Homo-oligomer: A and B are copies of this chain.
């Protein structure tokens, strides 16, 4: 398959065409290509090329025609809105030999939507009720303009609005299920905080050699997500294969990266769900993470049942005043020390009346602090069972060190909760 880029249509290869001046001018970051790349690869349609073109009829038609000459599936995003620069429908009509027509049912639905809110549709909004003759209309569960599916040459072309939430909704609910063609697909993820992506890849190499599952990696700021995708004749078999593969992956990871926790959810989600299951409450004390650890926990729906609050004692004297860290300790060692982390975790637990306390202290940089080098970080956890401290030596810029410190704290908490 790899040798065939220019050798005509490949049976199970996709291309993506993103339409929009704003994507080229540096105004808006495209978020669709990344998501489509991952999802289409999981379904057996690796994306071979992505082209971003302006809101220009000729440019759109040329890019889609070229993509359709090379790939079996082309996904086009953007240019289906209700303003004069939205010309993707016209480009599709030209390529397919169809015409742009207003769909009576869509128009009725659109007018009813505005009427419900007591609003009149803005100028041009009715363009969102337009379709291309001969194209299948794809219902949009998340927005107004529907998607379209049509043939250009031998390729199947799926045309979607540019809004990421609408792309995902139409793909997940309408398009991806039909790509399975009599098969079922499922994905399970594992998350490894503070893991090295290459080491995780090495550990899972035996898994990649198997044909029944695809292994994908997504690494950001020290967190590695392993995505395992299976495609089988039916959903029951997918579930069985994934169950077996996840078990095998856990065994391989336990051998290959024994020091790294392997989670079924992202770390903050895993921490909140395990504490909810106990049930137990959590209080946080932060120095270098500056509120980011609490903010990550708060992002989890239902966090309020678990999270009492956080004390960001950025100034050293507040570590004594708000968290009860001993003045002698701070004078003797400064704020960056394992015993300070331990005292902060205990202080948070006691002063915020929580079952568990979690703390971070360290040097995010750019310069050393209290004689400690950039990247020296101590995280601690405290509960009625006792306290635990872990010292980390982290690399990167301020933001990276902060995020890794928060991950390290969550990792320690999760181990203590086991």
Chain A residues near B (Cβ < 8 Å): 2, 5-6, 23-31, 33-39, 41, 46-54, 56, 58-59, 62-63, 216-219, 284, 286, 289-295, 297-299, 301, 303-304, 307-315, 318, 322, 351-352, 366, 398-399, 402
Contacts and interface: CB of A to CB of B under 8 A. Distances in A.
Contacts of A30: 30, 33-34
Nearest to A227: B26
Decide if the interface of chain A is mainly helix, strand, loop or mixed.
mixed
A47 B23 CA distance: 10
25 contacts: A5-B54, A6-B62, A25-B41, A25-B216, A26-B36, A26-B41, A27-B219, A29-B29, A29-B31, A49-B51, A51-B51, A284-B291, A286-B291, A290-B298, A291-B293, A291-B294, A292-B292, A292-B295, A292-B298, A298-B312, A308-B314, A308-B318, A310-B314, A312-B312, A322-B351
A198 B86 CA distance: 17
B314 A307 contact: yes
B289 A295 contact: yes
A353 B63 CA distance: 61
Nearest to A37: B26
Given A27-B217, A35-B26, A312-B291, A299 B5 contact: no
Given A26-B36, A312-B311, A313-B309, A291 B301 contact: no
A248 to B, nearest CB: 22
A56 B58 CA distance: 28
A302 to B, nearest CB: 10
A103 B28 CA distance: 39
A333 to B, nearest CB: 18
A299 B398 contact: yes
A58 B352 CA distance: 62
B314 A291 contact: no
A39 B286 CA distance: 38
A141 B148 CA distance: 47
Nearest to A24: B47
Nearest to A28: B34
